[in-house]
Amino acid sequence: MIRMLHTIPVLAAKEIRDGLRNRWVAATILLLGSLALALSFLGSAPTGEIKAGVLEVSVVSLTSLSMYLLPLIALMLSFDALVGEFEHGTMLLLLTYPVARWQIVAGKFLGHTAILLVAIMVGYGSALGVLILVGEGDTTGWQAYAAMMASSLLLGCAFLAIGYLISSLARERAVATGAAVVIWLLLVVLYDLGLLSALMIDEGKYISEGLFSVLMLVNPADAYRLFNFTGFGEVGRLVGATGVGAGFESGWVAPVISMGLWVIIPFLVTVARFHRREL
Amino acid sequence: MNTAHVIELRAVDKHYDKAVVVDGIDLQVDPGECFVLVGHNGAGKTTIMKLMLGLTRPSTGQVLVLDEDPASRMFAARRQALGYLPESASFYSNMTGLELLGYYAHLKGVPKTEVDQRLQQVGLHAAAARRLHTYSKGMRQRLGLAQAILGAPRLLFLDEPTTGLDPLLRRDFYQIISDLRASGTTVVISSHALNEIEAQADRIAVIKHGHLVACGSLPDLGRQVGLPVRTRIAVAAGNAARVAGQLAAHIKIDRVNDHSVDLICPEDEKMSVLRHIADLGDTVLDVSMTTPCLDEIYLHFMNGEGP
């Protein structure tokens, strides 16, 4: 039993080492950090008459950015986690070791989550530090910023799990690559466009406010946006001014549950699929 | 449950879609033996090995390894006792030899000290710090063996282990295998290299189109196919014709020349042939006997009738 417990960290450590070695970690930190800083400085100018802290303004711009970027990063980390090892032939050997299949998925998940965690903490954290320094120690709204960082990790985890699901279903790595791009487009870009067009065509006949909020909540990327836009004090008023997500308050619980389910369900389906797979 | 066998296949079928890869195979592997699977390309050897490793499940029939179903979830912990060298093994090419072996040792719960020892054993110590994409085919194969023997497994599976190895390395390879066997490891090998495997094999299973066409020790197989034992008697020049005349009543003469006589007999008449030769006394200068080798037996089965 003790041996079974140490298996997952060993598998996770390998993913982290791979991430460090192929510069994935460095590239992600650099990307998130520089974009966070750039957006924060650009976004801090036009606050106008609305009284809000620099950090709260940053949460708005960073949420809009992370919503697109983090799913993409997470999918790129995870889409070939299983199919890549099958195709390369390394899975054959790994499965003859005293490792349960769910442990392989859990170990990779843990490793990739750690990579995302470090990237978010260092990337967004360093931007936070710089903003506080520039604002001469003004820490108003740090809670919203911290919540944004935490929810970013959750969003990342949801798309990691989706990536594993793709990886367990695809027969070839090339197919998984395509599927990852399509899933990203569908969930992150086209879903919102579709919802918006539906609203315009519908003109309020069938799509009630309640249904609209449910439709928003079931998409992990929109759940992330709702969490950050309506969850915390001043941020909601800022977003109201920009017009996105206005009209209802979701609170923070429902979006967290939605993103949580997007982690758990694809993960469990992946494990089930993987168990049935024969070599 | 019969605990005498380490591996048991009972009426195992395996088909992918419509292609039948393994067709009604029954076989048992006993503890400590070296069991060799031979057969043409695509005969189903690798699939049989994958079935034994639990990497794939039989379509019908039952596979038991160490008295358990190797494809069950419970079996994961039993894999501690298994070692496997896949045919043309692939590794994580961005790792070094040392890292890779350390990773596998970790997963198997084998102490780190054994990693160095195994690298030394397969002669990769000097290359341990190099990334695997710089390794040659032979080095990769040696690394494959090193990982397979981590933790001195009770059951070792080797799929075409010596392809790509030069003769010197092959000798090292078989030395390592026989050291392990001395400590009680059961070895299952699939191979094309019949002449080199012959000396190692306790029992041989001949697979043809997914069928088990024969299974037994080399002499058993020789008897089954009825290939003759050849005996050559060397005599002093000029005596050959006389000797042949004396033996002709009892034994089939194949060829006679000036100083030697070639005899042919079935496997089970070897001893009586030797007695007849002994009766000739000093006339006989030398005797050599050639039992059918695996190559001949194999060819007989592959060309022969049957499935």
Q: What would the mean pLDDT of B135-152 be, rounded to a whole number?
A: 91
Residue contact A90–B90, C-beta within 8 A: yes
Under the phi-then-psi rule, with left for phi > 0, alpha for psi from -120 to 50, and beta for the rest, what region is A25? Answer: alpha
Q: Contact at 8 Å (CB) between B36 and B189?
A: yes
Residue of chain A whose Cα is closest to the Cα of B76: A98
Q: What would the mean pLDDT of B276-299 be, rounded to a whole number?
A: 85
Q: What would the mean pLDDT of B135-164 be, rounded to a whole number?
A: 91
Residue contact B89–A89, C-beta within 8 A: yes
Find chain B residues with C-beta within 8 A of A16's C-beta.
none
- Residue-wise pLDDT tens digits, B41-52: 888 899 999 999
Residues 6+ away with beta carbon under 8 Å from B186: B6, B7, B29, B30, B31, B32, B33, B34, B35, B154, B155, B156
- Nearest Cα of chain B lies from the Cα of A134 at a distance, in angstroms, of 42
- Nearest Cα of chain B lies from the Cα of A84 at a distance, in angstroms, of 11
Residue of chain B whose Cα is closest to the Cα of A100: B76
Residue contact A98–B108, C-beta within 8 A: yes
- Nearest Cα of chain A lies from the Cα of B210 at a distance, in angstroms, of 17
Q: What pLDDT, on the 0 to 100 scale, is given for residue B29?
A: 94
Strand partners, B81: none
Q: What pLDDT, on the 0 to 100 scale, is given for residue A154?
A: 96
- Nearest Cα of chain B lies from the Cα of A85 at a distance, in angstroms, of 9
Q: What pLDDT, on the 0 to 100 scale, is given for residue B305?
A: 54
Nearest alpha-carbon partner for B147 in B89, B76, B215, B66: B89
Greatest mean pLDDT among A23-27, A275-279, B100-104: B100-104
CA atoms within 13 A on the CB side of B83: 25
Dist CA B125 CA B146 (whole Å): 11
Residue of chain B whose Cα is closest to the Cα of A87: B90
Residue of chain B whose Cα is closest to the Cα of A12: B103
Place of tokens 């009892």: B250
Find chain B residues with C-beta within 8 A of A94's C-beta.
107
CA atoms within 13 A on the CB side of B25: 37
Find chain A residues with C-beta within 8 A of B109's C-beta.
3, 6, 98
Mean per-residue pLDDT of chain B? 88
More confident residue, B19 or A111: A111
Q: What pLDDT, on the 0 to 100 scale, is given for residue B118?
A: 93
B288 phi and psi, to 5 degrees? -135, 140
Q: Tell whether the torsion through CA atoms of B231, B237, B241 and B247 is positive or negative.
A: negative
Of A6, A14, A98, the CB nearest to B80: A98
Dist CA B12 CA B26 (whole Å): 7
Q: What pLDDT, on the 0 to 100 scale, is given for residue A50?
A: 47
- Residue-wise pLDDT tens digits, A150-177: 999 999 999 999 999 999 999 999 999 9
Confidence of residue B303 (pLDDT cuts 50, 70, 90): confident
Q: What pLDDT, on the 0 to 100 scale, is given for residue A231?
A: 62
**Over the range A146-160, which residues count as b (16 or more CB within 10 Å of their CB) and which as e?**
bbbbebbbbbbbbbb
Of A6, A88, A96, the CB nearest to B79: A96
Nearest alpha-carbon partner for B7 in B41, B77, B54, B44: B54
Of A18, A96, A100, the CB nearest to B84: A96
Residue contact B82–A278, C-beta within 8 A: no
Residue contact A3–B106, C-beta within 8 A: no
Q: What would the mean pLDDT of B69-73 be, rounded to a whole number?
A: 90
Find chain A residues with C-beta within 8 A of B50's C-beta.
279
Tokens representing B241 are 């014709």
Dist CA B63 CA B69 (whole Å): 6
Residue contact A90–B79, C-beta within 8 A: no
Find chain A residues with C-beta within 8 A of B91's C-beta.
90, 93
Residue contact A100–B76, C-beta within 8 A: yes
Q: Is the pLDDT of residue B2 over 70?
A: no
- Residue-wise pLDDT tens digits, A232-261: 655 666 665 444 444 455 678 889 999 999
- Residue-wise pLDDT tens digits, B84-96: 999 888 899 899 9
Q: Is the pLDDT of residue A16 over 60?
A: yes
Residue of chain B whose Cα is closest to the Cα of A97: B79
Dist CA A223 CA A258 (whole Å): 7
- Residue-wise pLDDT tens digits, A224-234: 998 888 766 55
Confidence of residue B266 (pLDDT cuts 50, 70, 90): confident
Q: Is the pLDDT of residue A53 over 80?
A: no
Dist CA A205 CA A40 (whole Å): 40
Q: Is the pLDDT of residue A48 over 60?
A: no
CA atoms within 13 A on the CB side of A252: 13
Give the H/E segment covering residue A25.
helix A24-43
Q: Tell whether the torsion through CA atoms of A81, A87, A93 and A96 is positive or negative.
A: positive
Of B50, B77, B86, the CB nearest to A98: B77
Q: Contact at 8 Å (CB) between A156 and A72?
A: no
Residue type, B73: R
Q: What pLDDT, on the 0 to 100 scale, is given for residue B64?
A: 93
Q: What pLDDT, on the 0 to 100 scale, is given for residue B228?
A: 85
Q: What pLDDT, on the 0 to 100 scale, is given for residue A237?
A: 60
Of B76, B91, B94, the CB nearest to A99: B76
Query: Which of the residue ranges A41-45, A161-165, A244-248, B66-70 would you say has the lowest mean pLDDT?
Result: A244-248
Tokens representing B85 are 């060298």
Dist CA A131 CA A139 (whole Å): 9
Q: Which 3 state secondary structure label does DSSP give B95?
A: coil
Residue contact A97–B104, C-beta within 8 A: yes
Q: At CB < 8 Å, which residues of chain A contact B?
A: 3-4, 6-7, 10-11, 14, 18, 21-22, 88-90, 92-101, 275, 278-279
Q: What is the pTM of this model?
A: 0.87
